[in-house]
Structure 1
């Protein structure tokens, strides 16, 4: 099994791009490399980034952003690659930070939205969400893999999507949590640059709130895990009821994706 930091694929202008392979499942198998990737937005790719991307064998780009976000920073076009873009924000009232300038202003987002609201956002996201339903249907078709799923920074919507994929593959929750928390390492340069840009307009409390919202925090993803158990009693029942992932379908998925 590879160490977590060895899963990162370095790009010049794409953050947080990682192969989700190498994780050990509860029965001792491992997620195969090259089937699932998670990332921040791909739109700023350099020529060298595009050349590297094309070596990865990615057949599907699954984008959790809404239309405004995607139009503001569109995905690069690759031949023979399927594009799926379905907003994963769900029914939550607030806009995502990358989209907030059209309503409250991006800086005001970090001043108005607090961590308690973000925990609630995570707790609601996995349920009755058309984007994640499409994701879980997509990954059951081997011809769609390798697949990269992404949002704006690859933390929140991608964090839930990654958790769902790994749950379906029977990866332990503590491993899934570590995969999520590793985002903090790979987004650090971006967060530091953003901090430099806003620090003169934010007081100390507002800066603390900004960092809380820009962090992958255990209590955020745990809120989603807890809600799955509250609503369904178990993760297996959650996967079956929300995504029609029966035991048999999960076994079929695992047979293809694990070694």
Structure 2
């Protein structure tokens, strides 16, 4: 264990005390992921002020990936001054889950969050590729990834990133459950099973046109 990996900068402590579910994605992945490259969070929008901005800049945040829907975004969006030198990638994950889609794939008997996970993986391929395209560009780091609560959509993206970095499943589960609220062990198990059934994380990402070169670049950026 190194001091660098367990050190939490004051700026990060301040944001964590203010913003729900804000944490370093490497928190439960010591030895597998560099610290302070990706932060996962609930929406930062309710907390926009000079203090939050300054603390994000102290963490060298260059980009925000906002996974919220168009309705959520129109209802609550970032101020221009807050994004003056932070690049916003609004990559709206569709979570509509039409009944006809669930019926077509015999998913109606599944619990809601398992339907949700399945739908994200199978009906948001272009959006997921965009997320990984952002992650493959070193100039975008450090990055904050958020949805509304920082739990479901963000949790899926976080798990996919950690799988790509060969983080053990028990560590991925630990990170997923740290978002509390309604997160359940069985939901992440379902996600891991789905990825395995699709050939594993590398095969799944390749199937959505996240190339082997992009995957290698992400690992090069994030792995210690």
Aligned residues: 205
Q: How far off is 1:238 after superposition?
A: 1.3
Name the SS for the 2:46 alignment partner.
coil
Q: Which residue is 1:151 aligned to?
A: 147
Quick check: which has more Rg, 1 or 2? 1
Q: Which residue is 1:20 aligned to?
A: 25
Q: Which residue is 2:200 aligned to?
A: 234
Q: Which residue is 2:184 aligned to?
A: 217
What are the Cα deviations for residues 193-244 of structure 1, in whole angstroms up to 9, with x where unaligned?
Answer: xxxxxxxxxxxxxxxxxxxxx41111112222212222x2323211221243
Match of 1:164 among 160, 164, 184: 160
Pair 243,166 (structure 1): closer, same or farther in 2 beyond 3 Å? farther
Note the residue ranges of structure 2 that are not aligned, 5 or more in a row: 100-108
Match of 1:80 among 81, 85, 109: 85
TM-score normalised per structure 2: 0.80
Note the residue ranges of structure 1 that are not aligned, 5 or more in a row: 95-113, 185-213
Give the CA RMSD over aligned residues. Answer: 2.7
What are the Cα deviations for residues 101-127 of structure 1, in whole angstroms up to 9, with x where unaligned?
Answer: xxxxxxxxxxxxx98122111122123
Q: Which residue is 1:127 aligned to?
A: 122
TM-score normalised per structure 1: 0.70
Q: Is the 8 A contact 1:9 1:17 kept in 2?
A: no
Give the structure, 1 or 2, with the largest relative contact order (CA under 8 Å, sep 6 or more): 2
Cα distance in 2 between the residues matched to 1:127 and 1:145: 27
Pair 13,70 (structure 1): closer, same or farther in 2 beyond 3 Å? farther
Where do 1:30-179 residues align within 5 Å? 30-45=32-47, 46-76=49-79, 77-93=82-98, 116-129=111-124, 130-179=126-175
